[in-house]
């Protein structure tokens, strides 16, 4: 395992020397993050600032070569980065910042995969309802050969059963990455609320939330960057593919928990969701439902992609009402349809437009 991973082979203790070098304390390394033309992958680049930013609007607008990220033609490639939120950088530490940005084309229009722009409009219109979101981000760790980490190279692990919330060297793989990511998120200022091992071996989950409004999208994307970056240090690949292994193996989702200030309206929200199933399926993965087709089969704790359903404590429904919420007639609903590689801006925008804005 990991023998062919160049990053894993580097001696990490040598790097500590450089990380602890005294650097000027009036400067800041700002790593700008953005979503590329796939709508799934994050890109980053770093610049030095001669001040320590406190708010995103203090940060300079920057640009990048959109022709190298599937976002522009070579002849007109400058694409703008607008800083929208800042977090502490758990990798470079000190004054360093992670800066999540949204991207605009040469003509100042949002790029095709900038889903934040219209999400923000919806969140502003719904502001008085205080929409809250909590997203359960599932993911799978892969070895450099793109097989799930720790799986036999010429075969399969034993059937699902012992792995979910499992403990022990034959049950879970690479907990170091999971715990390192958790600590990094806390350090950065991400509202991470928990983590657990998943049903398929090498599959894990963490949760971000509750977050109000646009914050959920910003925080989830930064948490994904942090995960990819931690796993890179360990020489391990992260995939957000919603069905990394065909067959009797659970897929990966991004269950989206949702509530409003007056969520006595939970039945009304479910009724509205039931009448907009297609709109939601189209918003719940980066390929308008194509990715989720492999996952939402009606098996492996999913509902069929073709039908809408809702039920108390039902993990085979599109919408699950947690048991405690049903008893108290308030609380939140869980939309189980979003794929693990969804864009949270698209998912949460669709929920707000259906349930709050009545569009």
Chain residues in the site for Mn ion (CB under 5 A) = 136, 205, 255
Within 8 A by CB and 6+ apart from 305, the residues are: 281, 289, 292, 293, 296, 297, 337
Total binding residues toward ligand ADP, as defined by CB under 6 A: 16
Per CB under 6 A, the segment of 18-26, 47-55, 257-265, 279-287 that binds ligand ADP is: 257-265
C-beta closer to ligand ADP: residue 32 or 133? 133
- Interface with ligand ADP includes 258 (CB under 6 A)? yes
C-beta closer to ligand ADP: residue 109 or 329? 329
End-to-end CA distance of the chain: 51
Binders of ligand ADP among residues 166 to 205 (CB under 6 A) are 193-194
Written as one string, the DSSP assignment of 254-287 is EEEEEE-TTGGGHHHHHHHHHTTHHHHHHHSSTT
Q: According to CB under 6 A, which one of 104, 284, 332, 345 is a site residue for ligand ADP?
A: 332
Within 8 A by CB and 6+ apart from 174, the residues are: 141, 149, 150, 202, 234, 236
- What is the closest distance, in whole angstroms, from the C-beta atom of residue 138 to Mn ion in the complex? 5
Map residues 26-55 to x or -, x wherever contact with ligand ADP holds by CB under 6 A. Answer: ------------------------------
Q: Enter the DSSP assignment of 210.
A: E
Residue with smallest beta-carbon separation from Mn ion = 255
Cβ(338)–Cβ(251) under 8 Å? no
C-beta closer to ligand ADP: residue 162 or 322? 322
Binders of ligand ADP among residues 272 to 331 (CB under 6 A) are 331
C-beta closer to ligand ADP: residue 101 or 211? 211
Q: According to CB under 6 A, which one of 32, 87, 104, 132 is a site residue for ligand ADP?
A: 132
What is the DSSP pairing of strand 132-142 with strand 192-197?
Answer: unpaired
Q: According to CB under 6 A, which one of 334, 335, 343, 349 is a site residue for ligand ADP?
A: 334
Phi-psi region of 192 (alpha: psi -120 to 50; beta: other; left: phi over 0): beta
The CA radius of gyration of the chain, in Å to the nearest whole number, is 21
- What is the closest distance, in whole angstroms, from the C-beta atom of residue 12 to Mn ion in the complex? 28
Within 8 A by CB and 6+ apart from 267, the residues are: none
C-beta closer to Mn ion: residue 56 or 322? 322
C-beta closer to ligand ADP: residue 81 or 321? 321
C-beta closer to ligand ADP: residue 96 or 191? 191
Q: Tell me phi and psi for residue 194, to 5 degrees.
A: 170, 180
CA dist 76 → 37, 69, 83, 229, 286 (Å): 15, 13, 22, 30, 25
- Interface with ligand ADP includes 338 (CB under 6 A)? no
Chain residues in the site for ligand ADP (CB under 6 A) = 132-134, 136, 193-194, 207, 209-210, 255, 257-259, 331-332, 334
């Amino acid at each position: 395992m990991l023998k062919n991973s160049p990053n894993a082979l580097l001696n990490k203790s040598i790097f500590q020397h450089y990380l602890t070098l005294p650097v000027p304390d009036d400067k800041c390394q700002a790593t700008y993050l953005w979503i590329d033309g796939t709508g799934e992958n994050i890109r980053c680049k770093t610049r030095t600032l001669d001040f320590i930013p406190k708010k995103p609007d203090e940060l300079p607008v920057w640009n990048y070569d959109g022709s190298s990220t599937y976002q522009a033609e070579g002849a007109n490639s400058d694409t703008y980065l607008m800083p929208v939120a800042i977090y502490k950088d758990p990798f470079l530490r000190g004054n360093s910042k992670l800066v999540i940005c949204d991207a605009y084309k040469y003509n100042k229009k949002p790029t095709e995969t900038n889903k934040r722009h219209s999400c923000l409009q919806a969140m502003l219109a719904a502001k008085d309802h205080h929409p809250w979101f909590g997203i359960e981000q599932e993911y799978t760790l892969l070895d450099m050969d793109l097989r799930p980490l720790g799986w036999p190279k010429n075969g399969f692990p034993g059937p699902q059963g012992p792995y979910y919330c499992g403990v022990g060297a034959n049950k879970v793989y690479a907990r170091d990455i999971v715990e390192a990511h958790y600590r990094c998120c806390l350090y950065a200022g991400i509202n991470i609320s928990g983590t657990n091992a998943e049903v398929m071996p090498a599959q894990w989950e963490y949760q971000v939330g509750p977050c109000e409004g646009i914050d959920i999208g910003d925080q989830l994307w930064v948490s994904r960057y942090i995960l990819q970056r931690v796993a890179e240090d360990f020489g391990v690949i992260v995939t957000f593919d919603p069905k990394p292994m065909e067959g009797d193996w659970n897929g990966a989702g991004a269950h989206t928990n949702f509530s409003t200030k007056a969520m006595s309206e939970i039945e009304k929200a479910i009724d509205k969701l039931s009448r907009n199933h297609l709109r939601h399926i189209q918003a719940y993965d980066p390929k308008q439902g194509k990715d989720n087709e492999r996952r939402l089969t009606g098996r492996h704790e999913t509902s069929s992609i073709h039908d809408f359903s809702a039920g108390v404590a039902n993990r085979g429904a599109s919408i699950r009402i947690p048991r405690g919420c049903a008893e108290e007639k308030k609380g939140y609903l869980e939309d189980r349809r979003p794929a693990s590689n969804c864009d949270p801006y698209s998912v949460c925008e669709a929920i707000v437009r259906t349930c709050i804005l009545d569009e």
